[in-house]
Amino acid sequence: MTPLDAPRRPGIDLAAPSDEPAGRTRFGVVGGRGTRLLAGPPRSQGREALADHDRRLPPLDLGWWSPTELRDEIRASGLLGRGGGQFPAATKLDVAAAAAGTPIVVVNATEGEPASRKDKTLLELRPHLVLDGADVVAAAVGAHEVVVYLHRSRGRSTAAVEEAIQQRRLGRPPGVRMRVVDAPGGYVTGETSAVVSFLDGAGALPRRTAVPAAVTGVGHRPTVVNNVETVAHLALVARYGARWFRESGSPQSPGSTLVTLAGAVGVPGAVAETLGPVTIGEILATVGGLDTPPRAVLLGGYAGTWIDGEVAWRTPLERHALRAAGASLGCGLIAVLGHDACGLAETARLLRWLAGQSAGQCGPCFLGLPALSAILDEVVAGTAGRRDLRRICDMAMSVRGRGACGHPTGSVGLLDSAIETFDPELRRHLRRQSCEAAPGKGYFPLPADYRVRA
C-alpha cells in the first residue's frame, strides 16, 4: 500500500481547507478564498488563537502515523524547501531519522531578507499552523525538542509565537518541548550552518562542511532546520495528504508558494499565495496594482537576479520555469523597480549593504565585496570608465564560488544580472552622461540600523 492510498483516521474531512473548488484559485492573500497557508480569518483579525485554529482545521493526529509512514507521505507530496535551496523536505527527514543520536528540530524564523514578509506573516497570523508543522517534523524523525530561531527584535512575531506556545501548554496534552531562541541580527545568520554554530554557542558563523546538519548538527545531534513556510506546509500535508498537496503548484514543484511584493507596487510588503499557473505580471497587476510592466524585477532576494520588466511580466511564477530562465524564486521576494529609478544605482545601494553583511571570516567576502561595491559606486557617480568595468568583471570572477558560504557568490550574481539588465544605463554612466532615471531613489527597504559606507 502506497502512502497516497493509505487509510485515514475516521471522521476527518479531507476536503481542501478552503471554500473554493480545487484548481480554481490561482493566487490569493490572507483570508482569501481558495488559499491554503493563508486561509482563515483576514489580516484585520490578527493572530489566530488555538481554539479558533482547532475549529478551522481537522485534528492533527500524529499518533495515526508511524515515523516511516509520515516521511513516506511527505516524500509523496514532493514538497521542496521554501527557503531558497529547494531541497526535498523528505530527504532531509530521512537523513536525520537514520543518523545516530536523538534529532532536534529548528524552525528557522530569521527571514534575513529585509523586504521579505512571508514568514513573518505566518508567524504573526497563523502561529499554530507553524507549530503544528514543527510537531510533524519532530514526529517524522523522533525528536523531542523544537527550537524556534527568531529575532526577538521582531516583537509581533515573537509575541505571537510565545503566546501560541503557552496556549498549547495549557490547552493540549504534553508533547514536544518548544522554546524560542533569540537569534542574532544579520543577513547570513540564518544560513543553516550559522544557525547550528550559534545554537552550539560558537557564534552565528556560516561554514562549508561536507557533513549536513541533518547528520550532525547542534551538540553533534541530527538537526533538521527548515524555514517557516516549509514547516507550515507540513502541517497541512499531515492533515490532508500528498495527493491534495499536489493539486496546487506544478508537477516539478508541487504545492502553493508564498511571495512578497516590494518596491514600486501599490502595497510594498504585500504577501500572496500562488496555487496554480500564473505569471509574474498577473501577480503584479492584481496584488501589486501595476497596469504595465515595470523597468525591472529583482527575484529571489537582494542577492538574487534582475530580470527585464517586460520579460518578467510574461514569465511563469514557478520555480522550475524561473530556473530555466536563469533566475530563482529563492525566498519568494518579487522586488519591483519603477521606470523613474536607476537600476545601477539601486544595485549599488544593495551591493553596498550586502558587502557590510560579511561574517568577516574569509577574504572573498570581507575584502572582495567591498571592493566591488566601491567600483560600482564610481560607475554610478560617473567617475569610472570601461577599464573599470573590466576590473569589476575580473574581480567578480575571483570572488564567485569562493568563501565560507554562498554570500559572496549570491552578491556577485546580483551584480552580473544588473550589468546585463541595465546595459543602457551602464553605457550612459560609463560615458559620464547623466542617467535619465532618478538615481538612488531607494525603492527597496534596508534595516533601520544600516549605515552607508563612508
* CA 67/CA 9 separation, integer angstroms: 16
Question: Is the pLDDT at 394 greater than 70, yes or no?
Answer: yes
Q: Grid coordinates in use for 24?
A: 480554481
d(CA 207, CA 95): 20
Q: For the residues of 372-438, what is the DSSP string, one character each?
A: HHHHHHHHHHT---HHHHHHHHHHHHHHTT-SSSSHHHHHHHHHHHHHHHTHHHHHHHHTTPPPSSB
| DSSP character at residue 435 | P
pLDDT for 239 equals 96
Same domain, 196 and 272: no
Whether 454 is in a domain gets the answer no
Q: Identify whether residues 109 and 211 lie together within a single domain.
A: yes
Report the pLDDT value the prediction gives residue 10, as an integer from 0 to 100.
Answer: 32
User: Span 125-154, mean pLDDT?
Assistant: 96
What are the pLDDT digits (tens) for 9-50?
333 333 445 444 444 679 999 999 989 999 999 999 999 999
Last residue of a domain, one of 337, 365, 395: 337
pLDDT for res 172: 87
Residues 320 and 226 in one domain: no
pLDDT of residue 14: 37
pLDDT, tens only, 194-237: 999 999 999 898 887 779 999 999 999 999 999 999 999 999 99
Same domain for 179 and 131, yes or no, is: yes
Mean pLDDT of 383-403: 85
The pLDDT confidence band at residue 116, using thresholds 50, 70 and 90, is very high
Q: Are 200 and 301 in a shared domain?
A: no
Last residue of a domain, one of 274, 309, 337: 337
End-to-end CA distance of the chain: 65
**What percentage of the chain reaches a pLDDT higher than 90?**
67
The answer as to whether 120 is a domain residue is yes
Q: Is 452 within a domain?
A: no
What's the grid cell of residue 299? 527575484
Q: Looking at residues 444-452, what average pLDDT do you find?
A: 69
Q: What is the CATH number of the domain that holds 80?
A: 3.40.50.11540
Q: How far is CA 273 from the centre of its chain?
A: 13
**Residue 325, pLDDT score:** 80
Confidence bin at 451 (pLDDT 50/70/90): very low
Confidence tier at 321 by pLDDT (50, 70, 90): confident
Q: Which amino acid belongs to residue 363?
A: G
Do 132 and 77 lie in one domain? The reply is yes
Tens-place pLDDT, residues 277-304? 999 999 999 999 999 999 999 999 999 9
Same domain, 236 and 266: no
Render pLDDT for 154-193 as a digit per residue (tens, 0 to 9). Answer: 889 999 999 999 999 998 888 899 999 999 988 889 999 9
More confident residue, 25 or 68: 68
Domain-embedded: residue 443: no
Domain count of the chain? 3
Question: Residue 434 — very low, low, confident or very high, per pLDDT cuts 50/70/90?
Answer: low
Say if residue 362 is in the same domain as residue 328: no
Tell me which of 133-142, 267-276, 421-430 is least confident: 421-430
pLDDT at 7: 37
**pLDDT at res. 320:** 79
Model confidence at 309: pLDDT above 90: yes
Q: Is 358 helix (H, G, I), strand (E, B) or coil?
A: coil
Last residue of a domain, one of 199, 220, 245: 245
Q: Using 50, 70 and 90 to split pLDDT, how confident is the model at 78?
A: very high
- 432 or 430: which carries more pLDDT confidence? 430
Claim to verify: residue 278 and residue 220 sit in the same structural domain: no
Query: Is 441 within the bounds of a domain?
Result: no
DSSP state, residue 185: P
Report the CATH number at residue 414.
1.20.1440.230
Q: What angle do CA 58, 276, 236 make, to 5 degrees?
A: 20
Looking at every residue in the chain, the average pLDDT score rounds to: 89
Instruction: Look at 359 and 66; give whichever has higher pLDDT.
Output: 66
Distance CA(113)–CA(410), nearest Å, equals 13
Distance, in Å, from the CA atom of 136 to the CA atom of 73, rounded to the nearest integer, reads 11
Residue 401 in domain? yes
**Pair (96, 135) in one structural domain:** yes
Amino acid at 326: G
Is residue 13 in some structural domain? no
- 370-to-115, 182, 356, 392 alpha-carbon distances in Å: 22, 29, 7, 12
Whether the per-residue pLDDT at 450 is higher than 90: the answer is: no
* Residue 355 belongs to domain spanning: 343-430
Percent of the chain beyond pLDDT 70?
A: 91
Give pLDDT, residue 438. 57
DSSP assignment of 20-50 equals S-TTT--EE-TT-TT-STT-SS-GGG-SPPH
Regarding whether 312 and 233 lie in a shared domain, the answer is: no
Least confident of 30-39, 313-322, 356-365: 356-365
Give the per-residue pLDDT at 436.
63
Does 309 lie in the same domain as 355? no
Backbone angles phi, psi at 307, to 5 degrees: -130, 140
Query: Is the model's pLDDT at 403 over the cut of 60?
Result: yes
| Residue 166: predicted pLDDT | 96
- Tell me the chain's radius of gyration from C-alpha atoms: 22
CATH of the domain at 296: 3.10.20.600
Q: Per-residue pLDDT averaged across 403-429, rounded?
A: 90
pLDDT at 36: 97
Give domain status of residue 435, yes or no.
no
Classify the C-alpha dihedral 57-60-61-65 as positive or negative: positive
Asked if 27 and 274 touch (Cβ cutoff 8 Å), the reply is yes
pLDDT over 70 at 118, yes or no: yes
